[in-house]
Each structure stands twice: as C-alpha cells, then as structure tokens.
C-alpha cells in the first residue's frame, strides 16, 4: 500500500468507519464472503490487513450457488486470490434452485437465504463472531431506490444495515462508507485481480437498471446522492428506534 493518495483518502475513510462502528477487535475472528468480484476481493484484502493490525484470524468463504456456467471457474479464482492474500479458504455449495422450488421463492430470494445460512453455519464452525460482506454505498443507494420504486414504508428507507445480528454472530459491512468507484480505486492501488459477473449488465433485472441507468442520472444532478441516501438511512433508523 505505497500509494500515498490512496492511504490519505480511501484507507483513512475505512479506518475512520471502523473506529466509529467497532467492526474489528482482537481475537474476534472474521469470515469474509468472497465471490471473486471486485467488492469482495477488496474487502478480503482490507480484512486481512486489519487482522494483522488487530490480531484476529480472517477466513474466506466462497459459495457456489449452482446458477452460473462460470461457477466452477469463480471458485478456482477465489481460492487462488485467498491463497495469494494468505487467508484460509473454504468452498461451500448451495442448491438454490431446489430451495426456490421447495419454498416457492424467487431465485434471487432463495440465493440470498441460502447464502446467509451457509455463511452463518460456516462462521459457527470456525469460531468466528463476525461475517464481513462487501456491500458499499452504491449497493445501499440501489436498495433504497428499489424499495421506493416498489412502494415502501419508512422501513424500506433503512437500506442495508451496517451491522446486523443473526443468532450470536454479527453481519458487518465495513465498505458501506465508500462508493463502487472507490472500491475500484482500492483494487487498483493494491494491484488486486478480480472477476466480472456478466449478469450485472443485464437491465432485464430492475436492480441492474437502477445501477446502470437511474443512479448515474441522479448523480448528474446530485454528485453526493449515495452519501445523502446513506444519511437518510441513519436518520430513519434513529427515528424507528426512538418510536
């Protein structure tokens, strides 16, 4: 991490966010959800660096949902990147199609449900108290805008929670303070490799349309739209908590 501009901006932003939220603590081991995409690769690198500074163990878990033709290649790549970063790697499988049929769920909903279940079970086996996921400001903005488009109550403006507890394990999102553009700068500054999910460009999916068309359009009028929506999420959370 010799890029001074990177260290003075993005890195410090992430460190400041960690201090505010208390994500990482000594001996509080962390399991990172690793897809092989830019977001999760950058997060794995960040968590590894923090594990060295704060003395906890970091692990990487890649889940094969059995949905993409490139799934096997994604798993191989994820294993290689974890090895390169010196992080123990676990490969898990989830039968998403079977779950969707059994519980009458959409493929997207079934994949999400299966993913969290696998991550929680894996974290328990490894003795991890936290699961780190790579959602960032763009993801949060997309979620809020999607909820508005579908019709939502105040709860839908909460977006993606920074921290959430499932059982005795905490889901943490250390990248919710930075944008996708900053994630890509993180990748470049640290010379990290990643894979692209070709389905992200298909605007048949409403989320992709929000990501590729609506959000950039809003950004032209308000460059800080992502940060503003994140602030709204925080205000709504306080409002709901205080009744």
**pLDDT tens digits for 137-191?**
999 999 999 999 988 788 889 999 999 998 889 999 999 999 999 999 999 999 9
What is the side-by-side order of every strand in the sheet holding 163-166? 89-93, 58-64, 30-33, 130-132, 169-172, 163-166
The pLDDT value given to residue 104: 85
8: confidence class by pLDDT, cuts 50, 70, 90? low
**pLDDT for residue 18 is more than 80:** yes
SS3 188: helix
Yes or no: say if 183 and 38 are a contact pair by the CB < 8 Å rule.
yes
State the Rg of the chain over Cα.
18
110: confidence class by pLDDT, cuts 50, 70, 90? confident
The pLDDT value given to residue 101: 83
| Nearest CA-CA partner of 173 in 120, 130, 133, 117 | 133
40-88 residue pLDDT tens: 999 999 999 999 999 999 999 999 887 777 788 999 999 999 999 999 9
CATH number, span 4-241: 3.40.50.620
SS3 62: strand
DSSP 65-102: -S--TTHHHHHHHHHHHHHHTT--EEEEE--HHHHHHH
Yes or no: say if 207 and 133 are a contact pair by the CB < 8 Å rule.
no
The pLDDT value given to residue 90: 97
Give the start-to-end residue ranges of the domains of the chain: 4-241
What is the torsional sign of CA 78, 79, 84, 86? Answer: positive
The pLDDT value given to residue 66: 72
| Nearest CA-CA partner of 46 in 179, 137, 173, 166 | 173
Other residues' Cβ atoms within 10 Å of the Cβ of residue 54: 15
**pTM (2 decimals)?**
0.91
The pair of structure tokens assigned to 15 is 């460190």
The pair of structure tokens assigned to 237 is 């959370």
Strand 58-64 to 30-33 pairing: parallel
Q: How far apart are the first and last CA of the chain?
A: 45
């Amino acid at each position: 991490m010799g890029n001074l501009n990177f260290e003075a901006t993005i890195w410090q932003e992430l460190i400041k966010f960690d201090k505010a939220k208390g994500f990482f603590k000594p001996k509080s081991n962390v399991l990172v959800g690793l897809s092989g995409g830019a977001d999760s690769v950058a997060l794995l690198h960040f968590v590894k660096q923090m594990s060295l500074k704060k003395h906890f163990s970091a692990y990487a878990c890649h889940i094969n949902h059995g949905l993409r033709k490139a799934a096997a290649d994604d798993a191989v790549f994820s294993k290689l990147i974890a090895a390169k970063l010196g992080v123990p790697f676990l490969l898990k499988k989830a039968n998403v199609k079977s779950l969707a049929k059994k519980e009458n769920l959409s493929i997207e909903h079934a994949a999400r449900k299966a993913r969290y279940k696998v991550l929680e079970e894996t974290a328990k086996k490894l003795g991890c108290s936290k699961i780190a996921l790579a959602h960032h400001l763009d993801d949060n903005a997309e979620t809020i805008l999607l909820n508005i488009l579908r019709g939502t109550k105040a709860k839908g403006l909460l977006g993606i929670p920074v921290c959430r507890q499932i059982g005795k394990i905490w889901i943490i999102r250390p990248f919710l303070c930075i944008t996708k553009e900053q994630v890509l700068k993180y990748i470049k500054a640290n010379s990290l490799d990643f894979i692209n999910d070709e389905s992200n460009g298909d605007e048949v999916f409403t989320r992709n349309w929000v990501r590729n068309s609506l959000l950039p359009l809003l950004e032209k009028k308000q460059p800080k739209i992502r940060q503003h929506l994140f602030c709204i999420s925080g205000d709504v959370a306080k409002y709901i908590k205080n009744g």
